[in-house]
Each structure stands twice: as structure tokens, then as C-alpha cells.
Structure 1
Amino acid sequence: MTADDLAFADVVELQRLLTAKAVSSVELTELYLKRLETYGPVYSAVVTILHDRARREARRADRERVRGRVRGPLHGIPYGVKDLLATPDAPTTWGAQPYRAQHFDFDATAVRKLSDAGAVLLAKLAMVELAGGFGYGDADASFTGPGRTPWNAKFWSGGSSSGSGIAVAAGLVGFAIGSETSGSILFPSTACGITGLRPTYGRVSRHGAMALCWTLDKLGPMARSARDLEIVLAAIAGADPRDPTAVDVPLTAPRRRPRIAVLKNATKGAMPAVAANFRASLKALATFADIAGEVALPKGPWGPVVGTIVDAEGAAAFRDLIESGKSRGLRNADDKLGGYVAYATPAVDYIDALRQRAKLNAALEAAFAGYDAIVSPTLHTVTYPVGIPFDKAYPKFGGGPSLIAPGNLAGLPAIALPNGFGPNGLPTSVALLGRAWGEATLTAIGARYQRATDFHTKRPPLTTGRP
């Protein structure tokens, strides 16, 4: 097995190699550290590489393995986290210039749980400043610079979990942790051609994570395969006294043939390649699942309701930043002003959005009852070029129904699975929206799909030169 083969192996394969003593955790860690140093700056993937911590944890994992103590399937596996998760080893910058020197003296709960599982933390990964809460309109929205997809460095990696998507796609980590408020795991997973899971709201503790929107924020795994997602989620899920929204719910899937509905008009406004890849995905899914016709997304102001909630809660989360004027130190032109716009959200609009949310969520639950998942293209286009405003990138496409805002508003889980390529060699993906606490069903569907396809095994054409 070559170094590249090792770097791009999924967690299950890496653990098999560690168990067989074909590689040690220290050797694997050194390989990834070198790749982070080589490729991280090219694609704007990294904030801080944690050399000392990574080597310390890798040595611990190897010592424990020699003594016969293996903590589980993540023992000795190196990973990275989006830089909104607290660690004491480096600044936790939230992707934003005003917080570049911010330090915490503890590990976020998700980081602590991964450490307890024997995983090896390599790096704090880049992200869009403040997780995009102030309304950025182009890719240049982090002090680390625009995240670039390893498939074509002239195009955006997606956000706000930009570094997490890049690092997994480029073989810089074994897996990564991202976060999603409204698309921040699913978008970079698509743009970078990896597999990503947004868990049910409350599945994973957010203690030690930057708060953007308390009633929408979720942490989740980003990896090279669906089987990896299930392993990582099992390690980070569960109740936490420091986060009263986090609860214990079993990760189980029903032992029957999945029943999947197709979102009505799913490919309306989509690029031809996105539509074609979606049709091919349906054929692959139909080999092991019942494709049970179409279901329409209930009509309603999904996007505006999400936007109002994010504005109001985000302005409260960053009130000091806005009132002090320090938000003008943000990088993106829209973000410099967006906090003030959010700050002006009337309380009546926020209360009305919460009332609308309850009605919309009930309608969504009724429409999707009886299905294990609803399938649609994750995005209607490939990712955007760097240097062009998002709304100018693909004026002929978009406008079709999307499950990203409805799924996040309802706190439902979703998985993004690579399903092909479109213009400029850029990846596309298919998404499945599941029922509350149905992550195991989604990962099981994803694993079956990935046994029938090989898109998740494709490797990007990496470069060491700046685009």
C-alpha cells in the first residue's frame, strides 16, 4: 500500500491496518501531519496544526494497543475539527480576525469524547468567519482566505465547514468534525466530493462549540464513507450535563427494506449533470430500497423563517462584537455590515418566525410520514467559482425545491453522498433527509449505496502550487 493509498483509506480500513500492525498510529499521524503542511495552505484548509498533541495522542494509542487495550474503532485514527470547537492547545478563532487570539482552557465535549475513544487530534481546520452568520456573499470569508475544493482549486470548497471538507477530500485527515446551521456540512461535503452527516438536533453536545444559532446549530462527522460516519457519530453522540439540549437516543436502524420517497420537482432548475447524476442515483438506490413515488415539499416561507431565526439568535450570540464595532474587522464585505442588519431584527419578527416554524415543521412531518428518507440532489449546481459573487455564478440555474432549510428548521438528520461529477470536474452529490433520530437508517442506506458505486473512493488531482 502506497502512502497515498493510506492517506485516502477510510476509517474502517485504517483500523484494519492498525489492528494488523501494518501501520502504527504514530506513522499514520506523521503521514497526515506532512500532508497538512504540504496541501493545507494551498487549499486554505488549516488554521493550526497541533503537532505536539497529535504525536502525544498517537504515542498513547500505540502504547495502549501493545498492552491489549483498544478503546474502539477510532483508536489511533487521526482527525481534524472545525475551528469553532474549543481546545486548550491552540487558539479557537471561529474563522474570524477579531477572535484570532481567543483561547479556551478545555476541550469541547465532542473533542473530549473522541479523545476518550482513542482518536488523535491533528488540526484545527478552517471555516467561514462566524460560521457564515452575518450573510457572506462570496467565497472570501475567512482570515485564512477562500477555501478551495481539491477537485479544482479555482472553485470554492463550500462553507462554513470549509476546512473539514477540504481536509477529508485531500487525504489530510482520517475524518473531520463540522457543524451545520443551514447547509454547512452538506454544502462542503458536496463541493469536496466527500460523505457528510448532519445529525438530528440534540444528538451531539455542542458544549465548547461556538454558538451561532442555539435552536439550529448541530455538530456532525465528515468522512470518506457512510460506514465511517456511523462510527464517528456513535463516539460523539449522547447526553451531556453541560448541554441540556443533548440527549441519549439509541442509534438503531429497522431491519427491513428502506422506503424512500423522491422530492417532487427535485431537479427543477438543476444543472444537466446534477439532474443526470441524480437519476442514476435513483437507479442505484432502487436495487435495495423501495422508491415510493414523489412527495411535495409543503409550501411555506422556509428560507425566510430560517433567515430570521439565524439573524436574531446570531445577533444575540455576537452582541458584544456588533455593539463594540469590532465586526468591522471581519474579512468579507457583507459580513462587515451583516451583523448590524441582523441586530436590527425586530423581536416581533423573531417571535413570528418561531410560530411559523412550529406550523411548518408539523406540515413537513405530515407530508413525509411513512418514509424512511426523502431523496433529492443536495445542491442544484456544482460549487461556485472563487472570486465571483454567489448570486452571479450560475444565473441560469437554481430556484428548485431544496430540503436544506426545511431539514434544518425541523432539526432532522441528512446525509450527503457523492454521486458523480459536473462541469469543471466538480463533484455532485445526492442527499437523503431522514426522520428524527434516524441517522443509523441514513448511514445504512449510504453504505449500501456506496457498495454499489465508487464515487466516494475517487481522489482529487492535488497540486502544491497556488491557484
Structure 2
Amino acid sequence: MRDPIKTKPVLFVFAILVFMLCACGASKHKFSKRDVKGAQNLVGVAFTKKQLDTLYPYLERNREGYDSLRTYELDYTVFPAIKFDPLPLNFNPKPQAGFPSWEIPTDVELPNNKSQLAFYTIPQLASLIKHGKITSVALTQFFIDRIKKYDGILQSTITITEEMAMEQAKKMDAELQAGKYRGILHGIPYGVKDLISVKGYKTTWGAEPYKNQEFDMTATVVEKLQEAGGVLIAKLVSGSLARGDVWFGGKTKNPWDIKQGASGSSAGSGSATSAGLVPFALGTETLGSITSPSTRNGITGLRPTYGRVSRYGVMSLSWSMDKIGPMARNAQDCAIVYNIISGKDPKDPTTTDYPFGFDKNKDVTTLKVGYLKKDIDKDTSKSKDNLTKALAVFNKMGIKMDSLELPDDVPFNSFDIILRAEAGAFFDDLVLSSDVDKMVEQDQSSRANSLRQARFIPAVEYLQANRHREVLIAKMNELIKDYDVIISPSFGNRQLVITNLTGHPVISIPTGLDKDKHPTSITLVGNLYDEASILLLAKAFQEQTDFDEMHPEGYMD
């Protein structure tokens, strides 16, 4: 038996240590009135000492609430109860004609140089498969081999889904042999940005903390493409947590100039499509991540209206701003893919059932078109000459254009609060666990830094920014409601910020190369739920030019 006299000092010391540990743990969550006083400077308010004294107990209760919230787990698929609605008051969507029966040409032949297949359009590849000139298995293997050959340079791919792809390709060949044809995507390979979940494969979000992450679900957009006969061959690079072109494995390159990044964050989709590693890909956009890599890599990118395409099974960056769209060789390929992936999804509460379509036979000269003359005149980028030449092409096509100006009497500097606050909420566990420290980029402009600072955005300011967003929606609707299309520079103006906040659809189309042999583009903006008009004008422009048929050198070996 132990001597109680000798035991008591040990117990006493142990008790003191426990007390100190508990006290340290508690103090970690405590704050003083001096802290509150100093915090006023951060948010721009000034209360009296008496007011702060009365506030303090309330703030303590708030803090208890925050701590309580963090003890409950939230699945990544849970949306906030407050949902963004892009519709202006008294909004009436333009009529839609539905989608056409896509024409599959009958005169397409296999090229003598097989590498040329890499730059065929969807209808051309569909013709080869439907008429038995190539099998889906052979075409799938062709593109997988291209990824393996060139991705060491481009770093556009995170995972090749080879086993699943070959199974799907064999199935498509067997069905075709049996007389079952699913449509224009039957047996055609494609890739998706690695924010999009695919059961049985990792979904890394391009970030070090998630590089081994796997979900027991397949995103709705992938299910729709598979049902249409598409063959998923690759999960393509997303910049880390949907920012830029840097990911945990390196930096995705622009195939036109590998000294240059592919831009972000749908960097892999842009680079791989441009270099002919996939015929088309899916990207996501919150604030330029389809239009930017489409421009940088010289391809066509469609960002549909907010809510047009389901985001179920896709990482959220901003619940009220994220969109999914196709990145492809040309506008018609984008229309084909958009046809398949759009529509209401009960698994995504933001999706809508407004009519959609694309009338490829409509007279393009009947469209009412405006252009942002002030923004175009002020453009000082290397793409200015090609922008001016593109306007001349539209004039030659018989398109009459009115000069328009974007709204400018709104607090643009405040709107970034919305994206950053919502991203901070989605990735709160990452920040609180300190796993955010594992991300590759940690500088001032990094996603890691952006997520940390989100904790200092007051809820009041987030809501105020959304109230001003409602004003912006009304102003943008007033500008565009009497037009079908607005022509805009792709960058260097407020269009990109405005349309991502209001949810309007845009399409980025190539306009050639600048003096440095880098691709340039122009952007067409449409009314909410009227992708048809921008697709029609983009298709007509591409029929008058050959910019969409250009591809980088060095990928035809």
C-alpha cells in the first residue's frame, strides 16, 4: 500500500498541472474587452466604453455558439438554407426552340496522319464511330496514349481513368454492333476538371490536403455524359481549390507556350483540350475559370447561366457563384455538350427548369446586338488588334451593333467579400485544422491566405454586399433586356465580375494570335437562360473565320 503522505504531493502537483492545462485550453478561446475594442478598427465601427461593456456578454454568447457549431459535422453536399436567386423582378425569359437533332456528317475519313484525329470536332469523331471507321476502343486508346505522351510536359492531368474508360468504350462498341446508338457522343472520350467526383477514383481538388480524397458518388454531369455514350478518360487539373494553374503536382502549361501557365482554375481542361489530349472537357467557373483558360489556351468555352447545370458531386467554392460548362474546339461542340449536361437536378437545389435550346438555323442578323465600346476603346492589351478585327467580321456578317456601357455606380470593391466568405465557410474545417498550411502556395495572393482571412469578414458586411448585388442584378437586366447579345473584351473590364455575380451566360471564342503568338479571344454575353443567342452568334462567327481550327504546334507527332 502506498504512503498517503508521499502520494498527496504527487496528486497535488498533478491537480495543478491539470488545472493549468484546462486553463490554457480555456484561455485559448477567451477574449478581453481590449480585444473587442481593437477589433472595431478591423470592421470600421466605434462604440463607447459603456456600449462595449454591454456588448461583451453578448459576444461571449456568440462565441459559445461558434464553438458549438464546430462540434457538428457538415457533409460537403449541404447547401446553405439561403440560396442565391439571379432573377430580376418581373423577369421573363426569352423563348427557346429546344435542341436540334445534331447532324452527323457522312463524308469524314480517317486522316493519313492519325495525330490529326486529336483536333477533330465532336461531329467528325461521331461520324467515324457511327459509320464504323474507328471503334470507341481505338479512339479511347488513342487519346489516352496522347495524355501519357504529352502530359509530362503540360501537367494537365491528375488521374487517367483508364480502366473505367476502356470498359465504357467496349460497351459502346458492343451496343453499336447490336444496333443501339445513343447519339452524337456515343463512344467519344472526354475529360473533367478534378473538382468533379467520380466513384472509384480520387477527387483531389488540386490541393495537397485532399490529394488522396475519394467520394462514394459520381457527379450528375458525369452520369449524364456517360448515359449519352461519352467515355471519361481523365480527371484534369484544377488549380489548388479552384485558384490559378498551380496544383499539388506542379504548374499546368499553356501548349502554345510552355513557359506560360495555362491560367486557372480549369487549367487542365483548357490545356488538354487545346493540345488535343481530349476532344472536350468540363470546367467550372466562379470568377473567370472557364473564360480565362479558354482564352489562354485558344479554345471555346461556354459558361452557362447560374443554375443551368447541376453541381451535385462537385466541390463548392462559392455556392452563389459557381457554374459548370463545356470547353471545346468550337461553339457547336459546346452546344452539343451543354445540351446533355443542362437541366433540373433534384440533387442540386440551385438548378432550374426554364426552357433551353439552340436554334442553329435562326437568321443571325435578326439578333439585337450591343457592344461595350468604352471598354473596347480603353483596351490596351496585346489582344486589342484582334478585338478590332473581330468587330469588323461581325459588321461584315450584317450584325448591327449598338454602343452600350456597363453599370458603374455600384460598389465593385465590396463584391469579392461574397466569394471569400462563402469559400471560407466551405473550407472552414481545413482552416481550423491547420491543414490549410499544407497547401503548396502560401503567399499573400494564395487560396490558403484567402481562406484564413475569410474568418474576419463580418456577416453583416456579407449580407450588405448581397443587397448591393441585388441592385447590380437590376441594373444589368435593364442594360441587356432589350438585347440578345453583348460583345465584350474577355478581360480588362468589369464584365467578368458583373456577369459572374449576376449569373449571366457568356461564351469565349478565339480571335487569333497576338504578336507573341499567344491566343486571344472575345466574349459574348447573353440574357439569363438564353445561351441559344450567344451560341448562335459564336457559331456564325466561327463559320466566317478559322481561329477555332488553329491548334498549337508540336502535338501532331
Same fold (TM over 0.5): yes
Matched, 1:248 2:353: yes
**Structure 2 gap ranges (5+):** 1-110
Of 390, 415, 419, 1:281 maps to 390
Q: Which residue of 2 aligns with 1:359?
A: 471
Please give the alpha-carbon distance, in whole angstroms, between the structure 1 residues aligned to 2:132 and 2:146: 22
Contact 2:189 2:279 in 1 (8 A): yes
Matched, 1:418 2:510: yes
Matches within 5 A, 1:108-123: 108-123=219-234
- Find the residue that maps to 2:374 and give its secondary structure: coil
Contact 1:127 1:142 in 2 (8 A): yes
Deviation of residue 289 (structure 1)?
A: 5.0
Of 481, 485, 491, 1:369 maps to 481
Matched, 1:312 2:421: yes
Q: Which residue of 2 aligns with 1:54?
A: 165
Of 456, 467, 472, 1:344 maps to 456
Deviation of residue 268 (structure 1)?
A: 4.5
Matched, 1:28 2:139: yes
CA deviation vs aligned residue, 1:44-90 (integer Å, no higher than 9, x gap): 10000011011011111111111111111111110000000001131
Contact 2:319 2:422 in 1 (8 A): yes
Residue 435 of structure 2 aligns to which amino acid in structure 1? Answer: K
The TM-score normalised by the length of structure 2 is 0.76
Of 29, 38, 44, 2:149 maps to 38
Q: 1:295 to 1:63 in 2, by over 3 A?
A: same
Deviation of residue 154 (structure 1)?
A: 0.6
**Deviates further, 300-309 or 142-151:** 300-309
Contact 1:260 1:289 in 2 (8 A): no
**Deviates further, 223-232 or 9-18:** 9-18
Please give the alpha-carbon distance, in whole angstroms, between the structure 1 residues aligned to 2:263 and 2:512: 17
Please give the alpha-carbon distance, in whole angstroms, between the structure 2 residues aligned to 1:186 and 1:19: 32
Q: 1:268 to 1:412 in 2, by over 3 A?
A: same
CA deviation vs aligned residue, 1:127-174 (integer Å, no higher than 9, x gap): 111112xxx6xx5x3112112110000112110000000110000011
Aligned length: 438
Q: Which residue of 1 aligns with 2:532?
A: 440
Matched, 1:170 2:281: no
Please give the alpha-carbon distance, in whole angstroms, between the structure 2 residues aligned to 1:304 and 1:127: 26
Please give the alpha-carbon distance, in whole angstroms, between the structure 2 residues aligned to 1:262 and 1:10: 29
Q: Which residue of 2 aligns with 1:264?
A: 373
Q: Which residue of 2 aligns with 1:206?
A: 311
What's the % identity of the aligned pairs? 38
Residue 144 of structure 2 aligns to which amino acid in structure 1? Answer: L
Q: Which residue of 1 aligns with 2:102?
A: none
Deviation of residue 200 (structure 1)?
A: 0.3
Deviation of residue 12 (structure 1)?
A: 1.3
Matches within 5 A, 1:79-90: 79-90=190-201
Q: 1:292 to 1:424 in 2, by over 3 A?
A: closer
Deviation of residue 303 (structure 1)?
A: 4.4
Matched, 1:430 2:430: no
Q: Which residue of 1 aligns with 2:494?
A: 402
Please give the alpha-carbon distance, in whole angstroms, between the structure 1 residues aligned to 2:144 and 2:240: 24
Contact 1:79 1:175 in 2 (8 A): yes
Q: 1:92 to 1:303 in 2, by over 3 A?
A: farther
Please give the alpha-carbon distance, in whole angstroms, between the structure 1 residues aligned to 2:382 and 2:203: 39
Contact 2:275 2:555 in 1 (8 A): no
Matched, 1:154 2:259: yes
Residue 318 of structure 2 aligns to which amino acid in structure 1? Answer: C
The TM-score normalised by the length of structure 1 is 0.91
Residue 10 of structure 1 aligns to which amino acid in structure 2? Answer: T
Contact 1:311 1:343 in 2 (8 A): no
Please give the alpha-carbon distance, in whole angstroms, between the structure 2 residues aligned to 1:42 and 1:434: 37
Q: 1:119 to 1:253 in 2, by over 3 A?
A: closer
Contact 1:376 1:430 in 2 (8 A): yes
Matches within 5 A, 1:89-104: 89-104=200-215
Q: Which residue of 1 aligns with 2:92?
A: none
Please give the alpha-carbon distance, in whole angstroms, between the structure 2 residues aligned to 1:361 and 1:302: 13
Deviation of residue 252 (structure 1)?
A: 3.1
Please give the alpha-carbon distance, in whole angstroms, between the structure 2 residues aligned to 1:239 and 1:201: 12
Please give the alpha-carbon distance, in whole angstroms, between the structure 2 residues aligned to 1:59 and 1:248: 34
- Find the residue that maps to 2:247 and give its secondary structure: coil
Contact 1:418 1:427 in 2 (8 A): yes
Deviation of residue 17 (structure 1)?
A: 1.4
Contact 2:252 2:267 in 1 (8 A): yes
Deviation of residue 272 (structure 1)?
A: 5.4
Matched, 1:193 2:298: yes
Deviation of residue 305 (structure 1)?
A: 4.0
Matched, 1:67 2:159: no
Contact 1:166 1:192 in 2 (8 A): yes
Q: Which residue of 2 aligns with 1:226?
A: 331
Residue 9 of structure 1 aligns to which amino acid in structure 2? Answer: Y
Please give the alpha-carbon distance, in whole angstroms, between the structure 2 residues aligned to 1:55 and 1:306: 45
Contact 2:358 2:535 in 1 (8 A): no
CA deviation vs aligned residue, 1:196-253 (integer Å, no higher than 9, x gap): 0000001000000001100100000000010001110111111111101112232235
Contact 2:126 2:188 in 1 (8 A): yes
Contact 1:150 1:192 in 2 (8 A): yes
Q: Which residue of 1 aligns with 2:490?
A: 378
- Find the residue that maps to 2:311 and give its secondary structure: coil
C-alpha RMSD of the superposition: 1.6
- Find the residue that maps to 1:433 and give its secondary structure: strand
Deviation of residue 287 (structure 1)?
A: 3.4
Q: Which residue of 1 aligns with 2:344?
A: 239
Q: 1:223 to 1:306 in 2, by over 3 A?
A: farther
Residue 105 of structure 1 aligns to which amino acid in structure 2? Answer: D
Contact 2:339 2:357 in 1 (8 A): no
Q: Which residue of 2 aligns with 1:17?
A: 128
- Find the residue that maps to 2:510 and give its secondary structure: strand
Q: 1:223 to 1:24 in 2, by over 3 A?
A: same
**Structure 1 gap ranges (5+):** 381-400
Contact 2:370 2:486 in 1 (8 A): yes
Contact 1:278 1:376 in 2 (8 A): no
Please give the alpha-carbon distance, in whole angstroms, between the structure 2 residues aligned to 1:180 and 1:272: 23
Please give the alpha-carbon distance, in whole angstroms, between the structure 2 residues aligned to 1:116 and 1:449: 31
Please give the alpha-carbon distance, in whole angstroms, between the structure 1 residues aligned to 2:299 and 2:481: 29
